[in-house]
Amino acid sequence: MLRMDRRFLASFDWVLLFLLVLVCGMAYMNLYSATYPSPGRMPPYLKQGYLLLMGVVGILFILSFDYKELHLWNYPIYVFTILLLALVIFAGNSAGGAQRWINLGFFQLQPSEPAKLMMVITLASYYSRKETVIGYSLKELILPIILMAIPFVLILIQPDLGTALMFVIIFISMTVLAKLRWSTYIILGASGIAMIVLGWLYVLKPYQKQRVETLLNPAHNAMEEGYQILQSKIAIGSGGLFGKGFMEGTQGHLHFLPERHTDFAFSVWCEEWGFAGSLFFLLVYFIMLIWGLHAAMSAKDRFGLFLSFGVVALIFWQAVINLLMILGFLPVVGIPLPMFSYGGSSLLTTLLGMGILLNVRMRRFQTESTLEGCDG
Is residue 367 within 8 Å of residue 13, measured between CB atoms?
no
Residues with Cβ < 8 Å from 97, sequence gap 6 or more? none
**Confidence band for 172, pLDDT divided at 50, 70 and 90:** very high
Question: Among positive and negative, which fits the CA dihedral 366, 368, 372, 374?
Answer: positive
201-254 confidence digits (pLDDT tens): 766 667 666 666 665 665 555 555 567 778 888 888 888 888 888 888 777 776
Give dist(CA 187, CA 201) in Å, integer: 21
Per-residue pLDDT, 290: 94
Please report, rounded to a whole number, the percentage of residues in the chain having pLDDT higher than 70.
85
Q: Which residues pair with 109 in a beta bridge?
A: 102
Which is nearest to 321 in space by CA: 308, 334, 312? Answer: 334
Per-residue pLDDT, 372: 40
Give dist(CA 196, CA 51) in Å, integer: 37
Q: Where are the beta strands (DSSP E) in the chain?
A: 93-95, 98-103, 108-109
Going by their DSSP bridges, the two strands 108-109 and 93-95 should be labelled as unpaired
Is the pLDDT at 375 greater than 60? The verdict is: no
Is residue 166 within 8 Å of residue 116, measured between CB atoms?
yes
Is the pLDDT at 31 greater than 60? The verdict is: yes
Region 320-346: mean pLDDT is 88
SS3 109: strand
Is residue 299 within 8 Å of residue 177, measured between CB atoms?
no
Per-residue pLDDT, 368: 46
**Confidence band for 15, pLDDT divided at 50, 70 and 90:** very high
Is the pLDDT at 144 greater than 50? The verdict is: yes
**Confidence band for 369, pLDDT divided at 50, 70 and 90:** very low
Per-residue pLDDT, 61: 94
Per-range mean pLDDT, top range of 2-6, 209-213, 305-309:
305-309
**Confidence band for 1, pLDDT divided at 50, 70 and 90:** very low
Mean residue pLDDT across the chain: 84
Q: Where are the domains of the chain?
A: 22-35+58-366
Region 310-314: mean pLDDT is 96
255-285 confidence digits (pLDDT tens): 777 777 888 889 999 999 999 999 999 999 9
